[in-house]
Each structure stands twice: as structure tokens, then as C-alpha cells.
């Protein structure tokens, strides 16, 4: 009679963080309330918010932005990958430099300029909102700004790769422009402040 081998189960919980600490890649234990964990935790939150945006982009008008199918979807998916790279680098203080982020910032600037050329000029602040996708992109932009603040606070205490700070500063501009662009393409009215 053959014995069936029991499949080893993988458990998501480890119980190692039950006292409010977590491990960096190096194995060093730090507080879950520390600046480093706050920084990469907020990046994770941003990544999740972008995932919600991606789940909502079904309108063919959005998929055809800038004349290429799935342009915004593709860019947002690339950003999600970047965010995992950056979060991993922050969880490993001895990680290598993220020099590729410099190229990504240039891509962001080009995309911002292309979208802005199609948008009505903006002379006032706009209230976050519009259509569903636009509102979620505005929310992602606000989370991005919080992640940037956490990263700057961490950098004030211990030096991190300067490309990360620049990346987040430009990413928030891109998310804002994407929010305006999707609202414009979907013919959702922007509310100017003061209303």
C-alpha cells in the first residue's frame, strides 16, 4: 500500500510580529512604528490604491489614451513594479542604488507633458473628484504625497537613495495629471476651487 505524502502547508502568519516588531531583510528587528516601516508601508498602501484604479479602468476611452491601447493601464502596472522595488530597497538598507528610477522620472515628465497638451489649461486648484477612475487617481496622488513625506522624514534620519525622493515627487504630479486626463476623456467636470 502506497503512503500518501501530506502536502506541506504554507502559513501566511509567523507570529514574529505579535509584539510590534518586524524584521528587515538583514534580520535586524525594528519597531513597526519606525520611520522605515512607515515609509515602505505607505508605499504598499499606494500600490494597493493603484491596484484599485486598475480594477476600475474598463472604459474604452481610457484604454485608448494617447492613441495606444492600455497606455494608462501599462504605465500604472509599471509603477506598481517600481513601488515594490522601492519598498524592497527601503526594507534592505544595504540594497544597491536604484539608478533606473532616473530614467523613469524622465518617462513620467514626457507623459505628463503629452497629457497636459490635451487638457484645458489650469489656473486654479481643482477639487479631487470627477469620475470614479479620476477620483481614485486623486486619492492615489494624495497617498503618494504621504509616502513622499515619510520617505523624506526617513532621509532626514538616515540617508537613502536620492532617486527615490525625486521619483515620488514626480509620481504625484503624474497621478494628478492622469486624474485630470481620465476625467477629461470621460467628460467628467472638474470642480474649480474656490467653488
Residue entry with cell 514626480: 170
DSSP 6: P
The sign of the dihedral angle between the CA atoms of 50, 55, 59, 60 is positive
102's grid cell: 532616473
Tell me the pLDDT tens digit for each residue of 33-69.
689 889 999 999 999 999 999 988 876 555 545 554 4
The sign of the dihedral angle between the CA atoms of 141, 146, 151, 156 is positive
CA gyration radius, the chain? 20
Which positions ≥6 away from 1 have C-beta within 8 Å? none
DSSP 19: T
| CA 116 remoteness from chain centre | 20
pLDDT at residue 64, rounded to an integer = 44
Q: What CA–CA distances, in Å, run from 189 to 116, 120, 186?
A: 16, 12, 9
pLDDT at residue 69, rounded to an integer = 42
pTM: 0.85
pLDDT at residue 87, rounded to an integer = 95
What is the CATH number that goes with domain 32-118+126-187? 1.20.1200.10
pLDDT at residue 94, rounded to an integer = 79
Bridge partner residues of 135 (DSSP):
none
Residues of the chain with pLDDT under 50: 64, 68-69
DSSP 4: P
Indicate the burial class of 95 (C-beta count within 10 angstroms; 0-12, 13-18, 19 or more): middle
Amino acid at each position: 500500500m502506497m503512503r500518501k505524502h501530506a502536502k506541506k502547508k504554507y502559513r501566511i502568519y509567523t507570529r514574529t510580529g505579535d509584539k510590534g516588531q518586524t524584521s528587515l531583510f538583514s534580520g535586524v528587528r525594528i519597531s513597526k512604528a519606525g520611520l522605515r516601516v512607515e515609509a515602505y508601508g505607505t508605499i504598499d498602501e499606494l500600490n494597493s490604491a493603484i491596484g484599485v484604479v486598475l480594477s476600475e479602468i474598463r472604459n474604452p476611452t481610457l484604454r485608448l489614451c494617447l492613441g495606444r491601447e492600455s497606455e494608462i493601464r501599462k504605465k500604472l502596472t509599471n509603477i506598481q513594479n517600481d513601488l515594490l522595488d522601492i519598498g524592497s530597497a527601503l526594507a534592505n538598507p544595504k540594497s544597491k542604488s536604484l539608478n533606473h528610477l532616473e530614467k523613469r522620472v524622465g518617462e513620467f515628465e514626457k507623459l505628463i507633458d503629452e497629457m497636459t497638451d490635451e487638457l484645458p489649461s489650469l489656473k486654479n486648484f481643482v477639487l479631487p473628484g470627477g469620475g470614479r477612475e479620476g477620483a481614485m487617481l486623486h486619492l492615489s496622488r494624495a497617498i503618494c504625497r504621504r509616502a513622499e513625506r515619510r520617505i523624506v522624514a526617513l532621509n532626514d534620519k538616515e540617508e537613502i537613495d536620492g532617486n527615490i525622493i525625486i521619483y515620488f515627487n514626480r509620481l504625484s504630479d503624474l497621478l494628478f495629471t492622469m486624474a485630470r486626463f481620465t476625467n477629461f476623456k470621460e467628460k467628467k467636470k472638474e470642480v474649480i476651487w474656490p467653488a
